[in-house]
Amino acid sequence: MKLISINSGKVDPLFANQHLDRTVVMSGIKKNSISHISQISQQNPVDINALGVVGDEQADPTVHGGIEKAIYAYPHEHYPFWNALLSRELKKPMDLQPGAMGENFTITGLLEAEVYVGDTLQIGDLEFVVTKLREPCFKFNARMGYKGAAKAMLQSGYCGWYMRVITPGTLNAGSTINHRPGRQETAIADQVRAIAKRDMQGDLWG
């Protein structure tokens, strides 16, 4: 299990043509790699504090960011699914790069079915605790340029999860991840299935 990429972004206008009542909204979902496993020797360590990656921004801290959602982690294993889906739906080749899902940490070797709320991830010298899954909204549809993206994320179960920072410090991509199970009462995959069964209307499916 490794940290492939650390990603950060600024709040920018996001076109939301897939949502009825909105043309432009502000969002920090557009994130780019600031430390990648392929370029470790060329990059300085990234500062991580209680609110996540220093310099990263969120437009609406009531639903993204904050102490309980300081870091959004996403498995790199899901990227081929998104490239194939979007290439088919958008009729053009897609090659999404780390950060495209809006995640702060692109990881490998750990999936939603193996992660439970309360689990601890030690990455380098830093520690994080899993708090909940990521629920996609209309902004994810807008970011992907496909109105079915949020629905596809929930139906596939490829949502990733949020974490709270327990031990802050500095971190490099390429760091090994040590997964320490907690009480294992609620898996991220279980949360995904429960939400996918709800009758979703409005913003998510807009």
Q: What is the pLDDT of residues 60-99, one digit of tens each?
A: 777 777 899 999 999 999 999 999 999 999 999 999 999 9
* DSSP H or E stretch at residue 80: helix 79-90
Question: Is residue 204 assigned to a domain?
Answer: no
Question: Is residue 203 assigned to a domain?
Answer: no
pTM for this entry: 0.89
Quickly state the pLDDT bin for 203 (edges 50, 70, 90). very low
- Number of independent structural domains in the chain: 1
Q: SS3 sequence, 98-158?
A: CCCCCCCEEEECCCHHHCECCCEEEECCEEEEEEEECCCCHHHHHHHCCCCHHHHHHHHCC
User: Do 5 and 99 form a contact (C-beta atoms < 8 A)?
Assistant: yes
pLDDT, residue 20, reads 52
Tokens, residue 121: 């991830």
Quickly state the pLDDT bin for 132 (edges 50, 70, 90). very high
d(CA 64, CA 33): 19
Residue 108, judged by CB atoms within 10 A of its CB (0-12, 13-18, 19+), counts as middle
Give the domain range for residue 168: 2-196
Question: Is residue 70 assigned to a domain?
Answer: yes
Is a pLDDT exceeding 80 seen at residue 163?
A: yes
Quickly state the pLDDT bin for 17 (edges 50, 70, 90). low
| Cα–Cα distance list, 68 to 50, 74, 147, 164, 187 (Å) | 9, 16, 28, 5, 17
CATH number for the domain spanning 116: value is 2.40.33.20
Question: Is residue 140 assigned to a domain?
Answer: yes
d(CA 97, CA 106): 10
Question: Is residue 50 assigned to a domain?
Answer: yes
Question: Is residue 174 assigned to a domain?
Answer: yes
Q: Is the dihedral of CA 85, 86, 90, 91 positive or negative?
A: negative
| Cα–Cα distance list, 5 to 106, 138, 191, 198 (Å) | 5, 25, 25, 33
Question: For the residues of 38-74, what is the DSSP string, one character each?
Answer: GGGGGSPPEEEETTEETT---S-TTTS-SSTTSEEEE
* Angle, in degrees to the nearest 10, between helices 188-196 and 149-156: 130
Question: Is residue 201 assigned to a domain?
Answer: no
